[in-house]
Amino acid sequence: MKNILVAMPFGDKHKSYIEKIGTDCKFHYTTIKTATAEEVKAADIIFGNISPELVKQNDHLEWIQLNSAGSDQYCKPGIIGPDTILTCATGAYGLSVSEHMLAMSMMLCRKMDLYMKNQVNHAWKEEGSVTSIWNSTTLVAGLGDIGSEYAKRMKALGSHVIGIRRNVVDKPDFIDEIYTMDQLDEVLPKVDFAVFILPSTPATHHIMDERRLRLMKPGSYLINAGRGDAVDCDALNKVLREGVSLAGCALDVTEPEPLPADHPLWDAPRAIITPHSAGKFHLQETFERIVRITGENLEKYLAGEKNQMRNQVDVKTGNRK
């Protein structure tokens, strides 16, 4: 009998669904905030993003299913053992985060951020010319679930979409051009939207530094909804204030996070910032997808088909296998 610790906010229907799959398993329900060391140590399997500091105290953990698409905190040395299976929730967040990013893109194009400030100040004031997604060029760095869903939406609205990923074979139909990260410097000066949905790894840390931010053409926009450390936020603040390249940015993630109240980026010209809220469980369908991924993986695990489990993460690289 497997002891499964569930730290996701399962309702009755979710509990019924998962318990029908794991009929010979013992389920214990807790929350991320209230989980104790004793509960974690007793688990063979964990569902949910329990604190890595607690997880590393379990020396017999067989599998942990995260409720997040990102897994970098669990890939650090000493958190999980070499034989522990780590799976994430890629595939659950594409709908919610891509729509959030699309909303940000439209706000920047139509200067809605400026008009919202005018409304707060009761100012009936036009803000001049605007741009359009139609006939624009969009760079999407990271073509996982979220990046692909965003790319499809931009393509449908008439943008020429350029993708960047590790594998350039089998270009998706919704991508017009595809490159590797080594070609980022070549692509950046061409695009109107530079969009990053990347995991946090040594290779992606500050991939958008001051030098690359200055490569972007005047009037272009930067959007980051992956991990905050992909963008050097201090450099971004500097470049936005100089007005030499970027016309604005939209960030759902920052470095550091939360962004301190006194950080100058809050007041940088045309900076739209949301508090890592594009995903999470704000859209109910996101959570339903997480539950389905968890259930499907539990079926595979109990059937001995561990190599068929979805979203397995290579702990050494932080990338999906």
Q: Could you tell me the residue ranges of all domains in the chain?
A: 3-92+283-308, 94-273
Q: Are 165 and 140 in contact (CB under 8 A)?
A: no
Architecture in CATH for domain 94-273: 3-Layer(aba) Sandwich (3.40)
Does CATH place domain 3-92+283-308 in 3.30.390.10?
Answer: no
4 three-state secondary structure: strand
Residues ≥6 apart with Cβ < 8 Å to 167: none
Query: Active site residue: 160, 214, 270, 276, which one?
Result: 276
| Catalytically annotated residue among 257, 288, 296, 299 | 257
Compute φ and ψ for 131, nearest 5 degrees: -120, 180
Look at residue 176 in the predicted model and tell me its pLDDT: 98
Residue (of 30, 19, 22, 64) closest to 44 by Cα position: 64
CA 274/CA 283 separation, integer angstroms = 16
Question: What confidence score (pLDDT) does residue 321 get?
Answer: 82
Q: What are phi and psi of 196, to 5 degrees?
A: -120, 125
**Do 174 and 148 meet the contact criterion of CB atoms below 8 Å apart?**
yes
Instruction: Report angle CA 46, 51, 55 to the nearest 5 degrees.
Output: 50
- Among 321, 318, 319, 320, smallest CA distance to 74 is for 318
Q: Do domains 3-92+283-308 and 94-273 have the same CATH topology?
A: yes
Nearest residue to 301 (alpha-carbon basis) of 20, 22, 3: 22
Q: What is the pLDDT of residue 167?
A: 83
The answer to whether 263 is a known catalytic residue is no
Among this protein's residues, is 160 annotated catalytic? Answer: no
What confidence score (pLDDT) does residue 317 get? 86
Judge whether 255 counts as a catalytic residue.
no
Helices (H) and strands (E) in the chain, counts: 10, 12
DSSP one-letter string for 113-179: HHHHHHHHTT----------STT-EEEEE--SHHHHHHHHHHHHTT-EEEEE-S--SS--TT-SEEE
pLDDT tens per residue, range 85-125: 999 999 999 999 999 999 999 999 999 999 999 999 999 99
Q: Residue 108 has what pLDDT?
A: 99
What was the pLDDT predicted at 59? 96
Tens-level pLDDT at each residue, the chain (321 residues): 999 999 999 999 999 999 999 999 999 999 999 999 999 999 999 999 999 999 999 999 999 999 999 999 999 999 999 999 999 999 999 999 999 999 999 999 999 999 999 999 999 999 999 999 999 999 999 999 999 999 999 999 999 999 999 888 889 999 999 999 999 999 999 999 999 999 888 999 999 999 999 999 999 999 999 999 999 999 999 999 999 999 999 999 999 999 999 999 999 999 999 999 999 999 999 999 999 999 999 999 999 999 999 999 999 888 888
- Cβ distance 281 to 32 under 8 Å? no
Out of 14, 165, 227, 289, the active site residue is 227
Report how far residue 158's alpha carbon sits from residue 142's, in angstroms, rounded to the nearest whole number.
20
- pLDDT at position 318, please? 84
